[in-house]
Amino acid sequence: MINEIAKIIVAKMIKNNVIIEEDEEIYLYGAKLFISKVLILGFITIIALITGTVFAGLVFVPSYMILREYTGGHHCKKSSTCTFVSVLIYFIFAFLYKINSLYFEEVVYTQLAVAIFAFVIIFLLSPIQNENRPLEKEEYIEYRKKAIIISSIFLIVGILFMLCKNIEISFALFSSLTVDSVLMILEKLLKRRGKNEDLERNS
């Protein structure tokens, strides 16, 4: 669906001489990215309003995106898949937030343990590089430093709000750490699997 909409938009832009045909692929990529982000934002907003997680979502989504910028991790190849996964992540976040709100005292230490484990993963693995855009040595060091600093801030602030029993902010920050670490582990596993498959083909 996203591809079809993007093609229609770009085709109209070419027809109206807004862009030249030679740049079609560039604008097609940009259009797909834009449409995907609009859909993600729209679906997340709807879920947030229905589940009553607007404030928690306003903390979770930006913190998750900021941290992901420097940690790296798995990226979906198709825009439609990216949209689906992003919305699914928020749906799971909203569902777990509701459970956490009901049973805060029972799950608080489990939640903290998961967040600390996620921080350790980020500390050990970040940044995971994208094959399409490898980092220079200086960039790698900078990204690693920022990933560790940001994740440390999220963990510390999350703990402080947890102690104050502010469920919305603590859960949102802990969730951003957790989701980022899961995507990093997933990318590591997929890369290792790909290398093993290449070795099997060459053996």
Cα→Cα distances 185→124, 127, 147, 179, 196, Å: 11, 11, 15, 10, 16
Question: Residue 192 CB: number of other CB atoms within 10 A?
Answer: 10
Distance CA(56)–CA(68), nearest Å, equals 18
Tell me if 158 sits within 8 A of 169, measured CB to CB. yes
Give the SS3 label for residue 92.
Answer: helix
In this predicted model, what pLDDT tens digit does every residue of 5-54 receive, in sequence order?
777 777 777 777 767 777 777 777 777 778 888 888 999 999 999 999 99
Average pLDDT, stretch 139-166?
94
Q: Specify the pLDDT at position 193.
A: 73
For helices 54-71 and 167-202, give the axis angle rounded to 10 degrees. Answer: 40
Domain residue limits, the chain: 2-202
Q: Which range has the worst mean pLDDT, 15-29, 101-115, 146-160? A: 15-29
In this predicted model, what pLDDT tens digit does every residue of 69-104 receive, in sequence order?
899 888 777 777 888 899 999 999 999 999 988 888
- Please tell me the pTM assigned to this model: 0.83
Q: Specify the pLDDT at position 199.
A: 43
